[in-house]
């Protein structure tokens, strides 16, 4: 039975942050029409991909899913379970922003079936929050985590961003100290990067904001690795750290090159070696669902070479290259060709090779892109 992940894109937001390039709209128009279209899309794909598949996770991303009422997401979860073989112990994650939920609403989300919360805090520094144009402050971020824990969420993750303009190493470590003192099990740390079309990109192009260089970025990244490892977290992907037993099931589906089905505007899917993506515009998405039952904008079939390189990249960026699984999918010519380079990396303490696994060390994660460039 194939293990598959489900992603649901909720496009509604109350505010567009300067760095964000995910599809979102700042309006409550079409909330009910979207739910109706989404249900039809679920039904369309359940007729194609319901047999011989076990859906191990549901992930509500956005946008800001926590803006919705708990009953709204519950209705979607029930519809997914009625149409797909969703595992009884499936991880069901909701992305959440401080300022959009109080304790009662979090309790209702838990009762609706959400069992994992991912909180987009980004920083605990007031000036950094203002720069990022977040709607919350430090105290409301901290309170949101405590509220989630108090209503029974055991699996709590937070996102933090580093390498902001003028961010010192001391400020970054202070953010990490505040985070690790909270009842969380998982941290995602992302470097601030410029994405085309964002407000931040325009500010940089206009000379109003200056980004810090790559060497400083690497310095902050290595500081995060050292600090989080010292606090009992372990790194299982380039940007992700977890307490034992709390790896994100959904994200592991991506990193381990498993199938995933994305529903909603701008959502991407990867099923049976085919990749496709939906129209981004909500109105276009709804119109296409009405016409066809799906809203696919474009698609591509993955070649054997593409599949190989993507598999290697995702494996080394995360929990490592399983040589037994690799040899089932491909032959070992590529391994033999790169054997000398792997031994060199091992000698330099950038990878470990044991029990048929090739895995990056913490030092190796810091130069992951360079390693991948040399072998792919």
Across the chain, what does the average pLDDT equal? 94
Task: Write down the residue that tokens 């599949």 correspond to.
Answer: 307
Q: What is the pLDDT of residue 50?
A: 79
Q: How confident is the model at residue 198 (pLDDT cuts 50, 70, 90)?
A: confident
Q: How confident is the model at residue 86 (pLDDT cuts 50, 70, 90)?
A: very high
Q: How many residues does the chain have?
A: 376
Q: How confident is the model at residue 35 (pLDDT cuts 50, 70, 90)?
A: very high
Which DSSP helix (H) or strand (E) runs through 191? strand 186-191
Q: What is the pLDDT of residue 209?
A: 77
- 295 close to 289: Cβ distance less than 8 angstroms: yes
Q: How confident is the model at residue 15 (pLDDT cuts 50, 70, 90)?
A: confident
- 351 close to 345: Cβ distance less than 8 angstroms: yes
195 pLDDT above the threshold of 90 = no
Distance, CA of 123 to CA of 162 (rounded, Å):
8
Q: What is the pLDDT of residue 123?
A: 97
Q: What is the pLDDT of residue 32?
A: 96
- 277 close to 22: Cβ distance less than 8 angstroms: no
Q: Which of 111-115, 323-327, 361-365 has the highest mean pLDDT?
A: 111-115
249 pLDDT above the threshold of 90 = yes
Distance of CA 82 to the CA centre of its chain: 26
Range list of H helices, the chain: 31-49, 70-83, 103-112, 126-131, 138-150, 169-180, 199-205, 214-230, 249-255, 282-292, 304-317, 323-329, 333-337, 339-347, 362-366, 368-375
Structure confidence by residue, pLDDT tens digits, 311-359: 999 999 999 999 999 998 898 789 989 999 999 999 999 999 999 999 9
All structural domains of the chain, each given as residue ranges with its CATH number in brackets, are 2-255 (3.20.20.70), 321-375 (no CATH)
Distance, CA of 301 to CA of 278 (rounded, Å):
16
Average pLDDT, integer, range 72-99: 97
- 10 close to 68: Cβ distance less than 8 angstroms: yes
Structure confidence by residue, pLDDT tens digits, 36-81: 999 999 999 999 997 789 999 999 999 999 999 999 999 999 999 9
Distance, CA of 331 to CA of 336 (rounded, Å):
10
Q: What is the pLDDT of residue 24?
A: 87
Structure confidence by residue, pLDDT tens digits, 285-298: 999 999 999 999 99
Burial of 173 by CB count in 10 Å (0-12 exposed, 13-18 middle, 19+ buried)?
middle
Q: What is the pLDDT of residue 186?
A: 98
Q: How confident is the model at residue 112 (pLDDT cuts 50, 70, 90)?
A: very high
Q: How confident is the model at residue 133 (pLDDT cuts 50, 70, 90)?
A: confident
Q: How confident is the model at residue 89 (pLDDT cuts 50, 70, 90)?
A: very high
Burial of 47 by CB count in 10 Å (0-12 exposed, 13-18 middle, 19+ buried)?
exposed
């Amino acid at each position: 039975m194939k293990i598959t992940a489900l992603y649901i894109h909720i496009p509604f937001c109350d505010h567009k942050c300067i760095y964000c390039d995910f599809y979102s709209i700042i309006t409550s128009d079409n909330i009910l029409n979207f739910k109706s279209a989404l249900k039809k899309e679920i039904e369309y794909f359940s007729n194609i991909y319901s047999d011989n598949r076990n859906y191990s996770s549901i992930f509500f991303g956005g946008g800001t899913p926590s803006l919705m009422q708990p009953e709204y997401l519950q209705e979607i979860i029930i519809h997914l379970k009625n149409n797909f073989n969703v595992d009884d112990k499936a991880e069901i994650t909701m992305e959440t922003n401080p300022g959009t939920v109080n304790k009662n609403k979090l309790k209702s989300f838990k009762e609706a079936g959400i069992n994992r919360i991912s909180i987009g805090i980004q920083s605990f520094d007031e000036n950094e929050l203002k720069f990022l144009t977040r709607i919350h402050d430090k105290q409301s971020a901290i309170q949101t985590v405590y509220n989630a824990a108090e209503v029974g969420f055991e699996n709590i993750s937070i996102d933090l961003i580093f390498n902001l303009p003028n961010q010192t190493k001391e400020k970054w470590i202070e953010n990490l100290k505040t985070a690790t003192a909270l009842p969380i099990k998982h941290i995602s740390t992302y470097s601030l990067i410029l994405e085309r079309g964002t407000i931040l990109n325009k500010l940089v192009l206009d000379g109003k904001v200056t980004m810090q260089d790559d060497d400083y970025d690497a310095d902050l990244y290595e500081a995060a690795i050292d600090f989080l490892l010292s606090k009992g977290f372990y790194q299982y992907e380039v940007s992700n750290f977890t307490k034992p037993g709390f790896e994100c099931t959904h994200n592991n589906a991506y990193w381990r090159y498993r199938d995933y089905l994305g529903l909603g505007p701008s959502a991407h899917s990867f099923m049976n070696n085919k990749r496709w993506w939906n129209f981004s515009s909500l109105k276009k998405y709804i119109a296409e669902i009405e016409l066809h039952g799906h809203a696919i904008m474009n698609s591509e079939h993955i070649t054997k070479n593409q599949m190989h390189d993507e598999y290697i990249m995702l494996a080394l960026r995360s929990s490592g290259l399983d040589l037994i699984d690799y040899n089932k999918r491909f032959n070992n010519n590529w391994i033999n060709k790169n054997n000398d380079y792997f031994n060199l990396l091992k000698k330099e303490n950038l990878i470990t090779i044991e029990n048929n696994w090739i895995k990056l060390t913490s030092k190796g994660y810091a130069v992951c892109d360079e390693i991948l460039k040399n072998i792919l």
